[in-house]
Structure 1
């Protein structure tokens, strides 16, 4: 169970299949893809933000501790949290911390 939890926190769903897309939208030139992951307590906020920069597609995946009772609500909250990340960090989302 602990390994399953760690895999879900690291963005791996225990297999080779990518998580299912629950919702997708664009915001200020970024594409937001909501892929909530099922958790023993409900659905965890999880998503991807991508954009094209300098002719290359750049993306980042984020996972939050927030858990909701339905996949649909988790997807809505994923989109909202992604918009906030974009507002706060913009292109900085894709800068390496190394």
Structure 2
């Protein structure tokens, strides 16, 4: 039980390997990579948004509380949520919090 909890906190493989890319797309000059993580209740929305601005690569990873029954649905929802984040925040996604 404790091992299952620790694995869920660090990712299925204990944090040793990067999460598997399930889907990837571009949207308004940003690359969105869906990497849903396995959760005891299903698959959690997780992804990365990246871009290159002024010759510098920038990226941010996001995780949401949403959990779905299949990895494919979680990936679709990851892409949708990333598009919304881009629409709402644009380049502000890459600014460090104060």
In structure 2, distance between residues paired with 1:19 and 1:39? 13
The structural deviation recorded for 1:13 is 5.1
1:14-93 to 2 correspondences below 5 Å: 14-93=14-93
> Are the structure 2 counterparts of residues 87 and 70 from structure 1 closer, same or farther at C-alpha, using a change threshold of 3 Å?
same
RMSD over aligned Cα atoms: 1.5
Equivalence for 2:7: 4
> Are the structure 2 counterparts of residues 28 and 13 from structure 1 closer, same or farther at C-alpha, using a change threshold of 3 Å?
farther
Question: Could you tell me whether the CA contact under 8 Å between 2:6 and 2:14 is conserved in 1?
Answer: no
So what's the TM-score if we normalise by structure 1? 0.89
Superposed CA offset, 1:9-59 (max 9, x none): xxx852321000000000000000000000010000000000001101100
Counterpart of 1:6 in 2: which secondary structure? helix
How many residue pairs get aligned? The number is 95
Structure 2: runs of 5 or more not aligned: none
So what's the TM-score if we normalise by structure 2? 0.89
The structural deviation recorded for 1:93 is 0.1
The structural deviation recorded for 1:97 is 1.0
